Amino acid sequence: MDGLYPEITLYKLIKPLLFSLEPEMAHRLALGALGLSRPLLPLFSPLFTTSDPRLERILFGLKFPNPIGLAAGLDKKGELADAWGQLGFGFAELGTFTARAQEGNLRPRVHRFPAQKALINRMGFPNEGARAAAGRLKELKESGRWPSIPIGINIGKSKVTPLEEAGEDYLESLSFLRPYADYIAVNVSSPNTPGLRQLQEARPLKKLLTALVKASKGKPVLLKLAPDLEDKPLKQAADTALSAGCAGLIATNTTLSREGLPPYAKASGGGAVEYPEGGLSGGPLRKKALAKLKALSQFTKGRVPLIAVGGIFTGREARERLDAGASLVQVYTSYIYEGPCLPKRLCQELLQSEPKSNTKPRRH
């Protein structure tokens, strides 16, 4: 495999250094290095990209060159929007952005579990606010470097905003960021903002999504759901989203479950296992995220596209999500563990299971 993807070998050399650093520091260092190397990306892009009509998808009237997307959370500030397509992604979701600038939760707030290829994070939407993000994206667009792949904008609630005022908060973010969104992802499912998941309940969710769909002025609005919802509230949330006019669903966000993790630490008193607070992503989420995708596919019966995310490391796992009803898939934690050639590897592994006669883009 490394012979086919020589940059994997390079990442294997760099990864121990990155993983010796505090996770957030390593993240910033990697993004900073990518930003500095941006002028060279067109030259090296063939190493990271795969072009084949069998991979193309058409959804929401948008052309996706392949079904592998970058999930929200990695490019939180939208600093590298123009880089992700050159690194092999078929689309990228930026953010999460909030109306108010916020620092996020106290550090340490990211924890690695390398043996399980997992992360626990309780970042809490650190970002400079929607207005600042819009300014950065406006500058990128005016520079002529706007990406050719579809760009999703993920919006969430500011921590300081009371739940009863959440609608106005989301609408403010949308007003700034709508011009730069090919689609809008509504995040009501992060476990790291107190009370946020209450917005998945039918009444507040219907009010929020109806307002956002109206204010989106035709831009597709997608709802991102938690993997911890039981089937009945999951179906209720999906039905609410569709009745409000949402164009699709994203399954799933991170989980509060710690299933699949080893014992982390002993409490000082009772000896019970303690884990870091936050949402779990990566390998241990795979089974639960797939189950929720299958449930949503059954509930929606093909009425809207589904985007699958959570524990996708191989082309076989990506194919499993596509076969289970997803139109697109997203990665985040696997990108950190597997390195920059992951999108290309997933695409080429997907092609191995695609009929060679299928040369037309798939539509939803």
Q: What is the DSSP string of 290-326?
A: HHHHHHHHHHHTTSS-EEEESS--SHHHHHHHHHTT-
Q: Residue 198: inside a domain, yes or no? A: yes
SS3 content of the chain, % helix, strand, coil (to 5): 40, 20, 40
What confidence score (pLDDT) does residue 8 get? 57
Query: Per DSSP, what are the bridge partners of residue 186?
Result: 155, 223
Identify the domain containing residue 315 by its residue range.
Answer: 6-363
Rounded to an integer, what distance in angstroms lies between the CA atom of residue 173 and that of residue 78? 14
Which has the closest alpha carbon to 113: 278, 312, 281, 255?
281
Report the pLDDT value the prediction gives residue 273, as an integer from 0 to 100: 65
Q: 88, 347 in Cβ contact below 8 A?
A: yes
Q: What is the DSSP letter of 99?
A: S
**Strands 183-187 and 328-331, bridge-based pairing:** unpaired
| 141 within domain boundaries | yes
Q: Is residue 28 within 8 Å of residue 80, measured between CB atoms?
A: no
H helix count then E strand count, the chain: 11, 16
- Full-model pTM: 0.95
Average pLDDT by stretches of 10, the chain with 364 residues? 54 92 96 93 93 97 98 97 98 98 96 96 98 98 97 98 98 98 98 97 98 98 98 98 98 96 61 83 98 98 98 98 98 96 96 77 80
Say if 12 falls within a structural domain. Answer: yes
Can you give the CATH number for the domain in which 96 is found? 3.20.20.70
The predicted structure's pLDDT at residue 267: 45
- Name the helix (H) or strand (E) containing 172: helix 166-177
What is the rounded distance in angstroms from the CA atom of residue 202 to the CA atom of residue 204? 6
- The answer to the question of residue 242 being in a domain is yes
39 vs 345: CA distance, rounded Å: 24
**Is 190 known to be catalytic?**
yes
Instruction: List alpha helices for 37-153, DSSP H.
Output: 41-44, 130-142
Name the domain count of the chain: 1
- Asked, for residue 1, whether it belongs to a domain, the answer is no
Of the candidates 158, 173, 189, 190, the residue annotated as catalytic is 190
Q: How much is the pLDDT for 138?
A: 98
Q: Is residue 83, in this structure, part of any structural domain at all? A: yes
Quick check: is 108 in a domain? yes
Q: Which two tokens stand for residue 95?
A: 């953010």
Give dist(CA 43, CA 47) in Å, integer. 9
